[in-house]
Amino acid sequence: VLTAPLPQERGGNNSFTHEALTLKYKLDNQFELVFVVGFQKILTLTYVDKLIDDVHKEFRDKYRNEFQQKGALGLLNGTFDFKDDFMRLLRDAEESSKVRAPTVMKTFEQSLKSQKTVKCMIETRGEKPKEKVKNKKNKGSKKDGTEAVAAPSKASAGDKQLSAAGDKEELTKDEILQKNREEFFRKHMKAGEKSRSPKPDAQKEKGKKPRVWDLGNSNAKVLDYSNSATNGSAEACPVEEFDPDMALGDKNREPGRLYDLEYESDDEAEEEKVVQNPSKPSVKKGGLGGMFGMLKGLVGSKSLTREDMDPVLEKMKDHLIAKNVAAEIAVQLCESVAKKLEGKVMGTFTTVTSTVKQALQEALVQILQPQRRVDVLRDVMDAQRHRRPYVVTFCGVNGVGKSTNLAKISFWLIENGFSVLIAACDTFRAGAVEQLRTHTRRLNALHPPESHGGRTMVQLYEKGYGKDAAGIAMEAISYARNQGFDVVLVDTAGRMQDNAPLMTALAKLIAVNAPDLVLFVGEALVGNEAVDQLVKFNKALADHSMAQTPRLIDGIVLTKFDTIDDKVGAAISMTYITSKPIVFVGTGQTYCDLRSLNAKAVVAALMKA
């Protein structure tokens, strides 16, 4: 219901936006009619203009005679049998947006570039240098002219020298100076000619030549994909040939097992060195100075004060920030350690540094081991007993690896005997559906139905682009329930935490479909940004949820862990903010590069100097 008058159509603007809705309308001035279509603002429906034009034309033609006889006002109280026509036009508009053929690109043979040879292209690109060479030649000719002018004078000077040589006694001082000057110029000009002689040859050698790589392929036909007519359809695309060993990675792994992260701490390495060389005593330079250095920082049976710990805590805080822990969280961790240790009585041979470090390590391990542990396999089996699919929704910002790690988790679930339905709910990013389709083909190649009693272990549910993600997820869950799939993995579009419309759409998807597990996918490369992302994601889910108890993030998937070496602070920041566990850790590019979090290994890497 419109509570405001429709504005006049000016400059082709025939839309009206109110909060989350957009209205498009068309005026028929002949019969005084207004045709209006409404839809959610976040949807990008390409067929709206076609639909409203078709409805306008169909409705006007069908009731033209009645309008002419009675007028539009005379038919206000009447009824119009137009529902079937409208549904037909809506279906036609939707189908036209789907079936619309993409623009066919020219093949390489049809382009003008294919008619040019490499030699021709090199010559056209080298025209300017050639002109420069010509100009230089002209300049050189001018110089040669000056030299030619100077040559007769030299010859005449030489004649004078020969004529004067016969009678040296008759030479005056001026003639002697002139003679010496001419000899100097003669020597100088000869040296200049020698230095300028190789320049024309160097100019001839210049010219751009095509580079041929050792491992490259010079055959253009091999690189020509212009004749491909698949357009990304699953039926037309051929089965990909790829190396299973490359996709799986470690050959000695145990199928279906989720290995823990591994990291060797400095303490273990030092213990190994001590065991290997027990006979070599560690003697420090400086005699008694080394002994006093060992005793430095020891406190004897006294209680710790804040003044004792402040220098150590300051260094610890800087160390944590350098390891990618968010600055705010590093300060809070050091404050909690200081409150815990203040007033504690120390032993005789205990340093303040070792005490603070030990307390900080215990606090970090406690943070990485939240009270609620997510056991996906146990929850999937529980859902099986209730004859329903287990639904997992992935969310996060752009480019963190949601689709890639969704494929890794699919592979892990398949190896544990569960069938997976992937819901392609990223209807915004170009290529998102094709990426999931490629992963589905590869996973089916690694686990064909023949190896599982004819049962398809992974399938993709997709409806293309520009659709409502919440609706696609709901249809996918219903399809999985009817077809007997064990797990539904819902892939969503990446969105920044500050984008209110997209965060509202994500909250709607989660509220409507009520997934069993909501996983936030974050990369291990971030520092302070991790806090901002998680706080705003949780806040958006709480603000835009329609339930009394809003659904928030249940767990974390930490990706790109293989790129950070020992800068593992993002794991601390994320778990500290949400008090939620890190369920999976992505450590590489193959399907087997998925790990479970080992709190002690992460803390050992974090405390490494």
Instruction: Check pLDDT > 70 for residue 157.
Output: no
What average pLDDT does the segment 32-46 reach? 80
Contact 518, 546 (CB under 8 A): no
**Which is nearest to 199 in space by CA: 128, 132, 145, 137?**
137
Residue 141's Cβ-count burial label (10 Å; 0-12, 13-18, 19+) is: exposed
Contact 217, 223 (CB under 8 A): yes
Which pLDDT does position 444 carry in this prediction?
Answer: 92
Asked if residue 505 is part of any domain, the answer here is yes
Domain boundary, last residue among 48, 82, 100:
100
Asked if residue 22 is part of any domain, the answer here is yes
Total domains in the fold of the chain: 3
Which pLDDT does position 76 carry in this prediction?
Answer: 63
Banded pLDDT at 536 (limits 50, 70, 90):
confident
Q: Which long-range contacts (CB under 8 A, 24 or more apart) does 300-305 make?
A: 300/348, 301/345, 301/346, 301/347, 301/348, 302/345, 302/346, 303/343, 303/344, 303/345, 303/346, 304/341, 304/342, 304/343, 304/344, 304/345, 304/346, 304/352, 304/355, 305/342
Q: CA–CA separation, 473 vs 544, rounded Å?
A: 18
For residues 30 and 151, which has the higher predicted lDDT (pLDDT)?
30
Question: Domain check: are 539 and 394 in the same one?
Answer: yes
Written as six digits, the tokens of 587 are 């450590």
Q: In degrees to the nearest 10, what's the CA dihedral of 338, 341, 345, 347?
A: -100
| pLDDT cut 90: percent of the chain above it | 22
Question: Domain check: are 459 and 522 in the same one?
Answer: yes
Question: Domain check: are 336 and 356 in the same one?
Answer: yes
Asked if residue 152 is part of any domain, the answer here is no
Which pLDDT does position 423 carry in this prediction?
Answer: 95
Contact 585, 523 (CB under 8 A): no
Which DSSP helix (H) or strand (E) runs through 146? helix 127-165
What average pLDDT does the segment 341-355 reach? 79
Which pLDDT does position 12 carry in this prediction?
Answer: 47
Question: Domain check: are 573 and 496 in the same one?
Answer: yes
Q: CA–CA separation, 66 vs 70, rounded Å?
A: 6
Which pLDDT does position 394 carry in this prediction?
Answer: 95
Cα 41 → chain centroid: 27
Domain boundary, last residue among 337, 352, 368:
368
Question: Domain check: are 401 and 549 in the same one?
Answer: yes
Written as six digits, the tokens of 102 are 């993409």
Q: Per mean pLDDT, which of 189-203, 289-303, 581-595 is the most reliable?
A: 581-595
Question: Domain check: are 449 and 485 in the same one?
Answer: yes
Question: Domain check: are 434 and 360 in the same one?
Answer: no
Question: Domain check: are 361 and 390 in the same one?
Answer: no
In this predicted structure, which of 32-41, 116-125, 461-470, 582-591 has the lowest mean pLDDT? 116-125
Which pLDDT does position 488 carry in this prediction?
Answer: 96
Asked if residue 326 is part of any domain, the answer here is yes
Written as six digits, the tokens of 300 are 């004897």
Asked if residue 574 is part of any domain, the answer here is yes
For residues 133 and 350, which has the higher predicted lDDT (pLDDT)?
350
Beta pairing, strands 21-28 & 582-586: unpaired
End-to-end alpha carbon distance in the chain: 66
Banded pLDDT at 342 (limits 50, 70, 90):
confident
Question: Domain check: are 318 and 383 in the same one?
Answer: no
Asked if residue 279 is part of any domain, the answer here is no
Instruction: Check pLDDT > 50 for residue 78.
Output: yes
Q: Per mean pLDDT, which of 80-84, 242-246, 397-401 is the most reliable?
A: 397-401
Question: Domain check: are 431 and 518 in the same one?
Answer: yes
Looking at residue 60, which CATH number applies to its domain? 3.30.450.60
Contact 305, 346 (CB under 8 A): no
Which pLDDT does position 515 carry in this prediction?
Answer: 93
Beta pairing, strands 487-492 & 420-425: parallel
Phi-psi bin for 565: left (phi > 0), alpha (psi -120 to 50), beta? Answer: left
Contacts of 190 (CB under 8 A, 6+ apart): none
For residues 558 and 258, which has the higher predicted lDDT (pLDDT)?
558
Beta pairing, strands 555-559 & 517-523: parallel
Asked if residue 209 is part of any domain, the answer here is no
Per the structure, the complete domain to which residue 47 belongs is given by 15-100
Q: CA–CA separation, 488 vs 473, rounded Å?
A: 9
Strands annotated E in 300-369? 350-351
Which pLDDT does position 121 carry in this prediction?
Answer: 58
Which pLDDT does position 417 carry in this prediction?
Answer: 92
Which pLDDT does position 279 carry in this prediction?
Answer: 39
Please state the φ and ψ torsions of residue 492, each to the nearest 5 degrees.
Answer: -115, 165
Instruction: Check pLDDT > 50 for residue 224.
Output: no
For residues 153 and 66, which has the higher predicted lDDT (pLDDT)?
66
Domain boundary, last residue among 61, 78, 100:
100
Asked if residue 242 is part of any domain, the answer here is no
Q: CA–CA separation, 161 vs 547, rounded Å?
A: 114
Which DSSP helix (H) or strand (E) runs through 130? helix 127-165
Q: Whose structure tokens read 């300051």? A: 314
Contacts of 105 (CB under 8 A, 6+ apart): 226
For residues 84 and 170, which has the higher predicted lDDT (pLDDT)?
84
Which pLDDT does position 288 carry in this prediction?
Answer: 40
Q: Per mean pLDDT, which of 121-125, 129-133, 137-141 is the most reliable?
A: 121-125
Average pLDDT, the chain: 75
Question: Domain check: are 549 and 568 in the same one?
Answer: yes
Q: Whose structure tokens read 């406190």? A: 299
Question: Domain check: are 348 and 460 in the same one?
Answer: no
Which pLDDT does position 527 carry in this prediction?
Answer: 72
Looking at residue 541, which CATH number applies to its domain? 3.40.50.300
pLDDT tens across 3-12, in order?
A: 344 444 443 4
Coil, strand or helix at 28 = strand
Banded pLDDT at 168 (limits 50, 70, 90):
very low
Contact 297, 353 (CB under 8 A): yes
Contact 427, 466 (CB under 8 A): yes
Q: Which residues pair with 72 in a beta bridge?
A: none
Contact 544, 532 (CB under 8 A): no
Instruction: Check pLDDT > 60 for residue 124.
Output: no
What average pLDDT does the segment 519-531 reach? 85
